[in-house]
């Protein structure tokens, strides 16, 4: 295994670890009542404070990445998460537990922009196409979500203390791995040179560049909507399936979610092998999302729901990749990579906070019509993108500043070749009509 493959493996292992940590607590919720005397409020805060700390820490992590080095930020952030995991393992009262979860969430929030910055640095250093790397990144994220509850279920005899202490050790080892995986600061700064070479061609390429934070907000808004709908389905689907299940409701719920997540991971891996225009990906994802959601309203039988959910998850995976490829290709944010990733993550995570509330409220008010409402919202977002698509600056890649960097990454060009590739890359993006 070459050095590039080793670095990619270490980075993807960290992605799996971070996402597994997000879900590993779920099977241990019943233990918290006996362990720390946690009532419903404490249990809710255990998850809410973690999610809130993670969301708020992401802009700070992005600022830190721009001010320092992504590899060192990633290492220290994962070590912070390891401290939070260890404190969770030994907590015997609710105050300690909640403080541990905040610490854990801060660590995972700080590391997120560093992981994205590390991914773009690896693409530049080793000539890796951005779309392929993002496909692998998304598949690793889904694998982590699946792995968390699976590990927790298998390790139930070990107990919360043993499992979480082992998790803290693994997270600390992952922190050291990230220091080895993410290239240092110097190679990551090299792509700034093509900007100067490409600048004389900017006026002929299209409209004036849009500020990096506008793209970060727009792409984060798309990702927020994606997470809003998915997290709304997490409490909504189990209730819906319980009403229509002819067998074990738990079996039906597990089968539907496992099948959907498997489709999502496979879709991300496959789409990572193709460089499709971002506007095409966004429209396809929203269309499939709307179709899958509306189809769920037809029947509560788990076979019908499972098929509809798999269609929806194909669209979910497409939108997931669209938002992240857009933020990675945001050449206008080259000098603010960390801030762009941090702002994107903050806006994105709002969907995870609001989604469950929306799902429960819609189902209580409209029953199965909740799926039609969510599908209708997807259709409205698709319509908005279609209308805005008349502008050349709809998505990154449609303006002059975004073209050279985005196309160079897509081609897997190393930074030494950036100056020669700047002009043809801009032409390639114009032909791609993103």
Q: Using the structure block, give the residue that is written with the tokens 């990445």.
A: 65
Question: What pLDDT does 169 receive?
Answer: 92
Average pLDDT, the chain: 77
- pLDDT of 429 over the 80 cut: no
- Confidence at 287, pLDDT banded by 50, 70, 90: very high
Please check whether residue 329 is in contact with residue 406, taking contact to mean a CB–CB distance below 8 angstroms.
yes
- pTM of model > 0.85: no
Q: 53-82 pLDDT, tens per residue?
A: 888 898 898 888 888 888 899 999 999 999
Q: Using the structure block, give the residue that is written with the tokens 């994962």.
A: 78
Please check whether residue 322 is in contact with residue 288, taking contact to mean a CB–CB distance below 8 angstroms.
no
Question: What pLDDT does 400 receive?
Answer: 37
- Percent of the chain at pLDDT exceeding 70: 77
Question: What pLDDT does 285 receive?
Answer: 94
Q: Could you give the CA distance from residue 133 to residue 123 in angstroms, rounded to a whole number?
A: 8
The residues, ordered by sequence, that sit 6+ positions from 277 with a Cβ below 8 Å of its Cβ are: 397, 432, 433, 434
Query: Which domains does the chain show, CATH number per domain?
Result: 3-189 (1.20.1250.20), 210-398 (1.20.1250.20)
Question: What pLDDT does 250 receive?
Answer: 65
Q: Which of 49, 166, 178, 12 is nearest to 111 (CA)?
A: 178
Q: Using the structure block, give the residue that is written with the tokens 């897997």.
A: 412
Please check whether residue 151 is in contact with residue 17, taking contact to mean a CB–CB distance below 8 angstroms.
no
Between the ranges 159-173, 291-305, 382-396, where is the mean pLDDT highest? 291-305
Q: Could you give the CA distance from residue 52 to residue 403 in angstroms, rounded to a whole number?
A: 35
- pLDDT of 147 over the 90 cut: no
How far from the centroid of its chain's Cα atoms is residue 149's Cα?
18
Question: What pLDDT does 198 receive?
Answer: 38
Determine the angle formed by the axes of helices 278-296 and 212-244, rounding to 10 degrees.
20
- Confidence at 184, pLDDT banded by 50, 70, 90: low
Q: Which of 19, 243, 4 is nearest to 124 (CA)?
A: 4
**What is the DSSP code (8-state) at residue 415?**
G
Between the ranges 55-69, 187-201, 237-251, where is the mean pLDDT highest? 55-69
The two tokens of residue 308 are 């509809």
Residue predicted with more confidence, 126 or 393: 126
- pLDDT of 170 over the 70 cut: yes
Least confident of 122-126, 164-168, 205-209, 406-410: 406-410
Least confident of 201-205, 223-227, 247-251: 201-205
The two tokens of residue 368 are 């199965």
Angle at 413 between CA 113 and CA 7, to 5 degrees: 50
Question: What pLDDT does 380 receive?
Answer: 93
Q: Could you give the CA distance from residue 351 to residue 55 in angstroms, rounded to a whole number?
A: 11
């Amino acid at each position: 295994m070459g050095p590039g493959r080793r670095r990619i493996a270490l980075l993807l292992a960290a992605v799996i670890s971070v996402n597994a940590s997000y879900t590993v607590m779920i099977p241990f919720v019943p233990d918290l009542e006996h362990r720390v005397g946690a009532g419903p409020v404490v249990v809710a805060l255990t998850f809410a404070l973690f999610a809130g700390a993670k969301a708020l820490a992401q802009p700070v992590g992005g600022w830190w990445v721009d001010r320092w080095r992504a590899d060192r930020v990633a290492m220290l952030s994962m070590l912070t998460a390891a401290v939070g995991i260890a404190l969770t393992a030994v907590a015997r009262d609710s105050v300690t537990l909640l403080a541990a979860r905040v610490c854990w969430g801060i660590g995972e929030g700080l590391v997120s922009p560093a992981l994205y910055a590390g991914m773009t640095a690896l693409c530049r250093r080793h000539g890796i196409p951005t779309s392929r790397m993002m496909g692998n990144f998304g598949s690793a994220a889904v694998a982590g979500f699946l792995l968390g509850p699976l590990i927790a279920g298998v390790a139930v005899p070990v107990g919360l203390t043993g499992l979480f202490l082992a998790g803290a050790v693994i997270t600390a080892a992952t922190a050291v791995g990230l220091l080895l995986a993410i290239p240092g600061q110097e190679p990551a700064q090299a792509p700034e040179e093509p900007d100067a070479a490409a600048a004389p061609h900017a006026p002929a390429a299209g409209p004036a560049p849009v500020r990096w934070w506008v793209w970060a907000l727009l792409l984060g808004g798309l990702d927020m909507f994606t997470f809003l709908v998915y997290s709304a389905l997490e409490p909504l689907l189990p209730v819906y399936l319980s009403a229509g299940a002819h067998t074990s409701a738990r079996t039906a719920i597990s089968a539907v979610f496992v099948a959907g997540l498997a489709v999502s991971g496979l879709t991300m891996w496959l789409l990572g092998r193709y460089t499709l225009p971002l506007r095409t990906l966004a429209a396809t994802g929203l269309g499939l999302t709307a179709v899958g959601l509306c189809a769920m309203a037809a029947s509560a039988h788990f076979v019908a729901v499972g098929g509809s959910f798999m269609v929806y998850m194909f669209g979910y995976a497409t939108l997931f990749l669209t938002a992240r490829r857009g933020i990675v290709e945001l050449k206008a944010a080259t000098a603010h990579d960390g801030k762009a990733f941090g702002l994107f993550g903050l806006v994105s995570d709002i969907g995870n906070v609001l989604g469950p509330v929306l799902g429960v409220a819609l189902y209580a008010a409209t029953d199965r019509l909740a799926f039609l409402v969510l599908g209708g919202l997807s259709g409205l977002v698709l319509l908005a993108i279609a209308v805005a698509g008349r502008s050349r600056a709809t998505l990154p890649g449609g303006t002059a500043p975004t073209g050279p960097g985005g196309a160079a990454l897509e081609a897997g060009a190393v930074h030494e070749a950036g100056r020669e590739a700047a002009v043809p890359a801009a032409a390639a993006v114009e032909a791609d009509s993103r």
